[in-house]
Amino acid sequence: MRRSEFLRAVDEYFGARATWVLADLVLPGIGLTASAAIDSGVPPREVWVALCAEADLPEAARYGAGLKPPRA
């Protein structure tokens, strides 16, 4: 997962709360907020999985999130 895909997934699943989720929600498995974790070099996929677990998102959200739809 690229950083751009991570940010797209956060926007898709959290909408108006995305900024708060990135900046204020400390992820227990990582010990940092999502933004701080990404800035510290934690892979976006790892941060996304931790965010999904903390927010209790469905399993389907964890795989393929943030990918653009295929071109027609």
Q: Which residues, listed in sequence order, are joined to residue 65 by a DSSP beta bridge? A: none
Interatomic CA distance for residues 47 and 27, integer angstroms? 8
Please give the pLDDT value at position 19: 92
Strand partners, 33: 26
- What is the signed CA dihedral for 29, 17, 13, 51, rounded to 10 degrees? 0
pLDDT of residue 59: 84
Per-residue pLDDT of the chain (72 residues; tens, 9 = 90+): 889 989 999 999 999 999 999 999 999 989 999 999 999 999 999 999 999 999 988 888 887 677 776 676
**pLDDT for the residue numbered 64:** 67
Check residue 45 and give its pLDDT.
92
Query: CA quadruple 15, 12, 50, 48: dihedral positive or negative?
Result: negative
How many whole angstroms separate alpha carbon 61 and alpha carbon 55?
A: 11
